[in-house]
Copies of this chain bind each other. A is one copy, B any other.
Amino acid sequence: MASIREVAEEAGFAPATVSRYLNGHIKLKPSTQKKIEDAIDKLGYRGNGLARRLATGKSETLGFVTTDISYPFFASIASAAEREATRLGYALAVFNTRNDIMREMQILSYLQTRQLDGVIIMTNHTQTEDLATQITNDSHVVILDEDIPGAVGPRVFAENRQGGRLAARHFLENGHRSFAVISGPRGLISVEERIEGFKEELSVHGLSLPSDMIFSGPYSEETGGLGVDHFRNSPDRPTAMFATADNLCLGAIREANAANLKIPDDLSIIGFDDIPNADLLAPPLTTIRQGTAELGAESVRLMLGRLRGEIDPSVTTRIPVTLIERQSVRRMD
């Protein structure tokens, strides 16, 4: 790889001149421009991003942190974020952390060394104190989809509470009267807000959700299966089950199949996320759709706004949700 000094020598000028010309900091007379351009062509000069970053302190790359890129919902958001970042002249590097705080901290530390200009972080656990302090110290982080309590920075969340309400309303409209919830870990915003919304809507109709009708666990398919198992053997078996994420539904469906429990005939379920191909499941899944395109794109826009200092760190954008009716809820009567 040719360096800028080689180009400068070939063209007969100083490295500083070439650098400033290339960055548009200076105007040169046409003959000089030509000589520099020719030298660049001749040597195949491409510039060294690393050196530029070291010198300028900017990387023009954003990091996107996710716990599990193989969960389609997260992958969709990442994909949308990449699109928006590219459109705005940034590269997006996606990092998979498998819910490992150390990995998350490591990626955040890339900020300090300016290997990344900003980090959009989607995390998934409740032990977030260390993360919170590190994020607050650094003003280049956007929090996406799941909260990191105590951290200062712009946030992008779905209308979780509204999602919970929509689910409850749909169950009610279909004549259900006994409810259960399967959720991810208590304490997560996606869990608490969605459950709150669900309860709110029930209470509007004079109904309630006993706390023993909430089954929680890690956000894994297994939890969904365990939940079905749990409620199947419970004294008052619910007819309607709201899951705070579609992957819980996947486990639930799998377990229901194994237990010969028919969905929706024996048990109705509503999920959350609307993962790709939720329409092709057996049964097609009724679920609360979060707009992945908006979540991804908005997080990038907030990130760049933040980098330019145009955005207040305390903003929280809420992305609307919609109920997608399919066939996992039985009409009671």
Q: Are A96 and B92 interface neighbours, CB within 8 A?
A: yes
Residue of B nearest to A103 (CB): B86
> How many copies altogether?
2
Residues of A within 8 A of B (CB-CB), count: 48
Which residues on the B side are within 8 Å of A75 (C-beta)?
A: 69-72, 75
Given A69-B78, A69-B79, A72-B72, is A50 in contact with B54 using a C-beta cutoff of 8 Å?
yes
Q: Are A50 and B113 interface neighbours, CB within 8 A?
A: yes
Which residues on the B side are within 8 Å of A72 (C-beta)?
A: 70, 72, 75, 276
**At the interface, yes or no: A127 with Cβ under 8 Å from chain B?**
no
**At the interface, yes or no: A49 with Cβ under 8 Å from chain B?**
yes
Residue of B nearest to A95 (CB): B93
Given A69-B94, A79-B70, A79-B96, is A47 in contact with B280 using a C-beta cutoff of 8 Å?
no
Residue of B nearest to A110 (CB): B49
Q: By CB atoms of chain B within 10 A, which of A92, A94, A95, A114 has the most?
A: A94
Q: Are B282 and A284 interface neighbours, CB within 8 A?
A: yes
Q: Are A50 and B115 interface neighbours, CB within 8 A?
A: yes
Q: Are A94 and B91 interface neighbours, CB within 8 A?
A: no
Q: Are B50 and A276 interface neighbours, CB within 8 A?
A: no
Which residues on the B side are within 8 Å of A284 (C-beta)?
A: 282
Which residues on the B side are within 8 Å of A46 (C-beta)?
A: 109, 112-113
**At the interface, yes or no: A51 with Cβ under 8 Å from chain B?**
yes
Residue of B nearest to A247 (CB): B277
Q: Are B113 and A96 interface neighbours, CB within 8 A?
A: no
A–B complex contacts, Cβ < 8 Å, 13 sampled = A46-B113, A49-B115, A69-B69, A70-B75, A70-B76, A70-B276, A71-B75, A82-B98, A93-B93, A94-B94, A250-B280, A281-B282, A282-B284
